[in-house]
Chains A and B, each alone.
Chain A
Amino acid sequence: MSLPSVFPQLEQLLPLVSKPIQYVGGELGAVVKDWDATTVRWALMYPDAYEVGLPNQGVQILYEVLNEQPDVLAERTYAVWPDLEALMKENGVPQFTVDAHRPVRAFDVLGLSFATELGYTNMLSALDLAGIPLESADRTDEDPIVLAGGHASFNPEPIADFIDAAVLGDGEEAVLEITGIIREWKAEGCPGGRDELLLRLARTESIYVPRFYDVDYLPDGRIQRVVPNRPDVPFRVNKRTTMDLDAWPYPKKPLVPLAETVHERYAVEIFRGCTRGCRFCQAGMITRPVRERSITTVGQMVKEGLEFSGFSEVGLLSLSSADHSEIGDMCSGLAEQYADTNVSLSLPSTRVDAFNIDLAQELSRNGRRTGLTFAPEGGSERIRKVINKMVTEEDLIRTVVTAYSNGWRQVKLYFMCGLPTETDEDVLQIGRMAHEVIKAGRIAAGTKDIRCTVSIGGFVPKPHTPFQWAAMERPEVIDNRLKMLKQEINSDRSLGRAIGYRYHDGEPSLIEGLLSRGDRRVGKVIKRVWDKGGRFDGWSEHFSYARWVEAADEVLPAFGVDLDWFTTREREQLEVLPWDHLDSGLDKDWLWQDWQDSMTEFEQDDCRWTPCFDCGVCPSMDTEIQIGPTGQKLLPLTPVGGLRMPSAPAHTH
Chain B
Amino acid sequence: MILRERASTVVLRAGRGPRGALSKDFVIAPKNQPPGGQAPVVQRIRLRYAKRGPLRFTSHRDFARAFERSLRRAGVPIAFSQGFTPHPKISYASAAPTGVGSEAEYLEIGLQAPVDPAQLVVALDAALSAGLDVLDAVIAPEGSGSLADRIDASAWRLELPQVSSERAEAAVAAFLAADEVLVERMTKQGRRSFDARNPVASFVVTKESDAPSGATAAPCAIIDLVVRQVTPAVRPDDVLSGLRVVAGLEPPVPPRVTRLAQGLLTAQGEIVDPLDADRVDAPVVGR
Chain A residues with CB under 8 Å of chain B are 7, 11-12, 14-16, 19-21, 23-28, 52, 116, 118, 256, 258-260, 264, 283, 306-313, 315, 317, 334-336, 338-350, 356, 360, 363-375, 407, 412, 414, 457-458, 504, 508, 538-540, 543, 639-640, 642-646, 651
Contact = CB atoms under 8 A, between A and B. Distances in A.
Given A373-B10, A504-B2, A640 B75 contact: yes
Interface in B15-60: 15-22, 24, 26, 28-29, 31, 34-36, 54-55, 57-59
B62 A540 contact: no
B261 to A, nearest CB: 23
Given A258-B66, A539-B1, A543-B2, A375 B8 contact: yes
Contacts of B57: 14, 20-21, 23-24
Interface stretch (B127-135, B165-173, B185-193): B127-135
Contact of B129 (A28, A370, A375): A28
Contact of B73 (A309, A317, A347): A309
Interface stretch (B115-123, B140-148, B270-278): B115-123
14 contacts: A14-B57, A52-B3, A264-B65, A283-B6, A312-B72, A315-B9, A338-B14, A339-B22, A340-B17, A342-B80, A344-B12, A369-B12, A370-B10, A540-B1
B54 A25 contact: yes
Contact of B12 (A370, A640, A643): A370
Contacts of A646: 122-123, 126
A339 B15 contact: yes
Q: Is the interface of B mostly helix, strand, loop or mixed?
A: loop
B14 A508 contact: no
Given A52-B3, A347-B10, A20 B98 contact: yes
Contact of A21 (B10, B12, B59, B72): B59
A298 to B, nearest CB: 15
B287 interface: no
A344 B9 CA distance: 12
Given A310-B70, A313-B11, A346-B12, A27 B75 contact: no
A347 B18 CA distance: 24
Given A339-B22, A365-B15, A366-B28, 17 more contacts: A14-B99, A52-B3, A258-B55, A306-B72, A310-B70, A310-B71, A340-B15, A341-B16, A341-B19, A350-B10, A356-B10, A367-B12, A367-B13, A367-B35, A370-B10, A458-B4, A543-B2
Nearest to A335: B14
A340 B119 CA distance: 25
B207 interface: no
7 smallest A-B Cβ distances: which pairs? A367-B13, A373-B8, A310-B69, A646-B126, A363-B12, A364-B12, A348-B7
A643 B119 contact: yes
B265 to A, nearest CB: 28
B18 A414 contact: no
Contacts of B15: 335, 338-341, 365-367
B204 interface: no
A334 B84 CA distance: 21
B86 interface: yes
Interface residues of B, number: 67
A312 B72 CA distance: 8
Contacts of B115: 643
A309 B65 CA distance: 12
B254 interface: yes
B8 A26 contact: no
B246 interface: no
A15 B13 contact: no
B74 A644 contact: yes
Interface in B251-269: 253-254
A334 B14 contact: yes
A348 B8 contact: yes
A229 B230 CA distance: 74
Contacts of A27: 129
Contacts of B119: 643, 645
Contacts of B3: 52, 116, 118, 538-539
Contacts of B74: 643-644
Contacts of B8: 348-350, 373-375, 412, 414
A428 B244 CA distance: 63
A505 to B, nearest CB: 8
Nearest to A308: B73
A309 B14 contact: no
B76 interface: yes
A349 B8 CA distance: 5
A360 B12 contact: yes
Nearest to B72: A310
B54 A336 contact: no
A643 B76 contact: yes
Contacts of B66: 256, 258
Contacts of A640: 75
A646 B121 CA distance: 11
Contacts of A347: 10, 12
